[in-house]
Amino acid sequence: MKNLLTPLERTTSAERIESLLRGSEFELQRIVSTGQTTPACEWYDQETEEWVVLLQGAATIRFEEHAAPRALKPGDFFNIPAHSRHRLEWTDPEQETIWLTLHYRPSEPSP
């Protein structure tokens, strides 16, 4: 048994991604951020859908189709449709920001 909120040893300044469970059409990950952001002028554009919940810490995410970034706090969750360009504008550098993400291929297209 493991705990999703257990701090990770800092061995690098990079965001840490841990695969927790993988199937033929999904991957469940724990991501730990410590101040990382998406590099300027870059966007994530993924082939799969991504369901995200912020478990601990704080972050700000921006979607290309929205002018303003959205502040996130623990308990906030959302779904990112495939090819919805988005970027991490800010994560709290003073504490670990812990995410749980589920990358998946939906059984039918998103609305």
Beta strands 70-72 and 59-63 are: antiparallel
Residue 18: the pLDDT is 92
Rounded to whole angstroms, the Cα distance separating 61 from 51 reads 14
> Phi-psi category of 71—alpha, beta or left, where left has phi over 0 and alpha has psi -120 to 50?
beta
**C-beta of residue 71 within 8 angstroms of C-beta of residue 60:** yes
Which domains are assigned to the chain? 16-104 (2.60.120.10)
Q: pLDDT tens, 50-81?
A: 999 999 999 999 999 998 999 999 999 999 99
Residue 14: the pLDDT is 87
